[in-house]
Every structure is written in C-alpha cells, then in structure tokens.
Structure 1
Amino acid sequence: MSLSNGSPATAMAVANPWAVVPSLGNLDAYISAVNRLPMLTLEEEQQFGRELKDNNDLEAAGKLVLSHLRLVVSVSRKYLGYGLPHGDLIQEGNIGLMKAVKRFDPDQGVRLVSYALHWIRAEIHEYILKNWRMVKVATTKAQRKLFFNLRSMKQGFKDDADTQTHRDTLTDAQIETMARQLNVKREEVIEMETRMSGGDVLLDPAPSDDGEQAFGPIAYLADAAHEPTAMMESKQRDVMATQGIAAALETLDPRSRRIVEERWLKVNDDGSGGLTLHDLASEYGVSAERIRQIESAAMKKMKKALAAYA
C-alpha cells in the first residue's frame, strides 16, 4: 500500500517527502500542514519500516517521519511552560522522531507512535535542560526525571481548586506527597524545587539608564588577593619592608640609624614605641629640634636608597 492513494498533497510527499511541509519560520502554517498529512495504517507502517530496515530506503523513512510530525507538535505543546520557543521544541522533537524511525523495527510488534514517544521526549528534555537556565538544574538521570515530574506535579497542585494555595512555594504536605509518589527523599524534592525557583543572575550587569555601572555579583566574587598584579605588588612590598629597609639603614651613620630605629622601628612588649625626641636629645646632649633635623635627613637618605634598591 502506498501514501500516493490519498490527497494531491500526499502524492507530492511521495516524490519529495518534505515538499508539503513549510518552514518552521511560519509556525502556524507548519502546524496546519502537518495536521493535514494522513496517518499510516498498520500495514503501511510495517511495509515502510521493512523497506527502511532491509534496503535503507530513505523515501520510506521520509513517509514514516511525515506521518508522525503531528505527534511531535502534540508532545511539544506540553513543554511550552518552560518559556522556550515552540518552534525550537518542535525542531528538537523532530530530531528525536528521526532517531526513532532510524531504529524502528517493525517485527517487534510495536507501533511507531509508541516507540517514537520516548525519543521525542528525550530530545525535548535535553534541549530544555541545556537552554532553560545558564547553570544546569539537573545533571544525573535521576535528577532529570525529578525535574520534569516535579514541575508537572507542581502545576497539578496549582490547578487543583481544593489544594490551591496561591503560593509559588510548595507546602510541607505537597512536598511529602511528591516525595512519596516519585519515590524519592523529601530532601531531594526540596533541593530540586530550590534549583527550579532560583532565577539566573547576571554576574556583570549592564550600566543603568543614568550611565552608572550597576552593582553585580562579579564585584564581590572576584578574588583580588590572588590577582597576579596584586600578588606581585604584595611581594614587592614584603621585600621592601625587609631587605629594602635593611639595605637603607646600612647607608646611615650610627647616630642617624639609632634615631630612626628608636623613632620608627622599635616596638616594646607593651605596644609602645621607642625613645621620644626629648629622650634622644638628652642622651646626645642636643636639642629636640636637632634630633628632628637628623631624623628628617636620615629619612630622605633612606628614601633614595629604597628607590635605588627597588
């Protein structure tokens, strides 16, 4: 039996299986076209399936795909709540349908529609998980199953007039119900609900309308302490504070060195500093002003030595 026994559009499908299907760019026209394509009978499906399996007949494969495009449209509608374009969902589902047709064995006694459902859903699920959030909400097979079942059950709670809470978050009773029905731990339901309810946040947001840079997480996520330039500057400061100061002190005469050490470098156990200007003035038999002048000259000399050392 052949698809050519139907409408003129079907006859075109035999010559060019994709000629009757418009581009997904015009989604309404596409859906209308695929809904007009005739379904295959069991005998036709088995015939085309054997032609593809035994002879790699691509025309037969095209007929199998065409007759099930409406199935992809129907399945894709169930995933519109994720905020992704319907055309993209259909496109991914069509990929799953083609994979199913390629692997379809007509001798297994299973209709293609039942076999293809798994592949269509799998491709749509994969697309949603890759594109719904920048950061994946589900990575393992168990998490993926929980992700889609949890969303479906949560929507069911909202639609149920008797249990509707007018809240986005789940109640303890709803969490317990989900965990029991999905055969998972209560903590797993809570963790997945938290992942699903959390939105994406721009690390580096665009400037505001007044031209000022908006504050974003990137401002406090960056580890300035380990930034290469900062690390080099910190290392240089450490070297200057140890080896550099020691080299600069070597350029001073003994009196100037002692004055600098007592005034700036000495710290007693009680936290106090060294000798005062008057203490040093009494020790050297000069005025406090003279000690200050010596100290000032010594500091200038050390700055030159530090500059040369750097």
Structure 2
Amino acid sequence: MAKKSEKAVTEAVQAEEVSTAEVKEKKKPAAKAKKEADAKSGTKTTKKTSKKESKAEEEKTAAADVVLEAEETPQAAAENSADDMNARFEEKCKALLALAKKKKNMLDYQEIIDSFTDAEFDADKVEKVFDFLEANNVDVKISDDVEEEEDIILDPEDDIDIEKIDLSVPEGVSIEDPVRMYLKEIGKVPLLSAEEEIELAKRMENGDVEAKNRLAEANLRLVVSIAKRYVGRGMLFLDLIQEGNLGLIKAVDKFDFRKGFKFSTYATWWIRQAITRAIADQARTIRIPVHMVETINKLLRVSRQLLQELGREPTPEEIAKEMDIPVERVREIQKISQEPVSLETPIGEEEDSHLGDFIQDDNVPVPAEEAASTILKEQLVEVLGTLTEREQKVLRLRFGLDDGRARTLEEVGREFNVTRERIRQIEAKALRKLRHPSRSRKLRDFLD
C-alpha cells in the first residue's frame, strides 16, 4: 500500500509539471505577438532615435572593453613576468646542481654569482639558492678571492622591506644587556629608500665619509637577520653580528649603484661570507683550515644520509665508498673533526664533580704501585744491610739501584781497581747470600 501511494504521488507531480510547461508554451506566442504589435505602432522618429541610442550604446561598450583590456594588460603581464622569473630561477638552480655533481658536490661563491648574472631576483631568493643547494648536499666553498663585481641584476620594483626584519633575540640566546642595547640602538636608525641609496652612493664616490657611514648604519638590521641563522655554531650572537658588520662594511666599499641592483641584496652575499668564514676560523678551540672544515661538513652530511638509509651508524668503509675517497682518509678526517672537551665540564645531577676528576693521569704512578715500590725499597735496603759494604756497593753498581743505570763488570772493576773476573766472583757470592731463605722470603712476595 505504501509503495502504491508513493507511485501515485509521483505521477501527480509529473502531471502538474507537464501542465505547467504547456501553459508556458501557450504564453510564448501571445507575448511574441504583443511585442510585434508594439514595434509596428512605433513612429519613424522613435525608430531613428532607437538606432542612434543603440549605436551610442555600442560605442560605449567598445570603449569600456578597451579600457578594461588596458586595465587587465599590466596585471596579466606582471603575472606572466613573475611566472617566467620563477621558471628561470628554477632552471638556474637545476643547472647549478648539475654543475655541482660534476665537481663532487662542491661549488664556489663566484660560480653561484656568475650563474645569476642575467637573473632578476630579490634578497629572499638569495637565501633560497643556498637552501636549495644545502638540501641537495652541495657544499659552497668559502674563499677570500670573491670577485668584486657581482653582476646581479634585480628588478627595481622589488623593494626589500627592511622594516619587517625581526629584531627579536633568537631562541637559545640569553638576553643580556649588550644584546638588548644594541638591538634597541639599531632600531632607531631610519631606513633608506632606493633613491636615497643611490644618492649616498654618488656622494661616496666623491669621498663623503658621512654618506658611507649612513649607508652602513641603515642596513645593520640586515646583518642581525642573517646572523640569527648561524646561532649555535660555536660563536656568540654578538660576535656573529660583529663579523657580519665587517662584511657589510666591505659591501659598502664595493657597491656600484650603476649595476641596477639594490644594496641589501648585494650586501647579503658579503655578510654571509664574512660570518661563515668567521665560524670556520674561530668556532673551534683548535683552528682547522677552511678547506678541511668544508671536508668535515661534507663527511657529516654523508654520514647522516647513510644513517637514514641504513638505520645504523655507517662504518668508515661505507662512508669512504659513498665519498669516493680512501678509508684511511675517512679515519683521518674523523680524528681531526673531534671536538675538545673541557676538563671542568660538570658531571652528575648536582654538578659537584668535574670530568677531570675521573680521568687518569698517565704521568702519575698508581697509588698501589707507588706503595709497593716504597715497601720494596725498604725491604731491599734491609736485606742488603746483611752483606758486607763491598758486596753492597758491587750489587748497587751492577743493578743500578741508586741511579737506575746498570754498569758492566768492566766499569765496576775500574771503580774498585780490580779485574772484571774478581767483580764477577764478588757478585756471585753476594747473590748466593741473598738466596738464603732468611733473606729471600722478604723479597719473594714482590716477584709477582
């Protein structure tokens, strides 16, 4: 019964829809006829007016389309330009990676700079280049001979907003008064526009020292933002900032505004190079040459990669095979890369003990052995006291009991002005006496 009711309802709805459609179809001819009648009843003047109005409307529509196209064209062109720029940037990164593989995953700063001589990118993409290379296990060689002319062409519209640089202290750095004071001071320095940078650069060419100082001070925030990325690598945060400031000064000296790129992007390369070189030179207690630091970093990267692949610590042989170097060279690099540990390092939860307290000094005798040696000397003196003075002296010279240097029979004979055979007889007689149980039992325990 329920199914029949549902079927009946469905049929009724369909019938209602059909009737509604028929009514609409009947109304269409009537409406059409009415429109035709209205059109015929109009005068010629009305027709002319409507033609003029329609023509004017068409002209307005065409003009609006032209304006709309003119408005959309720059936006579309900008989007296409951005897409092309990103595509070129990715192509150049891939080309750099291919070049690095040919050189055993090693690139120089100058090679990276030369690869982007005709590319348009901002300071953010400078960091993306290094992040891309680091993600693909490519080492960037730090060298002092970076060429002065880095032809990095930038889009003049891509302004670097230094105002948005975060001047907060990074995690892991204690907020001390010097750090807080420095960040507060550089935050007061007004920033420069692109036109002001060019004006200062022109004044610098004429020897204006004040313009040089102004350009450097306005970009101190850039140094802080880059130095934050290197916290925890063996140098204090303020030291990293100071080294970055030295790189900034070098960038100010070498900046050429005629190249067309912004100062902040140009300075980024010099700041990075100054900080990374300082870490290589100063981060370790025992300095390691820069080329060896690069080799150690590469070995550590390969070790981490093999650890993920194998699920265990790789052996020197596996590392040597992956790096294509001898096993002996791997062991040598691992030995060099060891970090020195302070003897004052606290040990235990209460930190009342130090590492030096648990390390044995090989130059100091063990207390037990020192006590046994002292007792042996006392017993030996007591046993020798039972011999004659001559026998005692012969044994002392022959075995070096006083100064640790044993003499030959010839030397002892010259000492007593007798033959070597006579000295041998005296020695044999003295040893027979010492072998007597009354004397030997005092020394027998020390033979073990």
TM-score by length of 2: 0.37
TM-score using structure 1 length: 0.50
Larger Cα Rg: Structure 1 or Structure 2?
Answer: 2
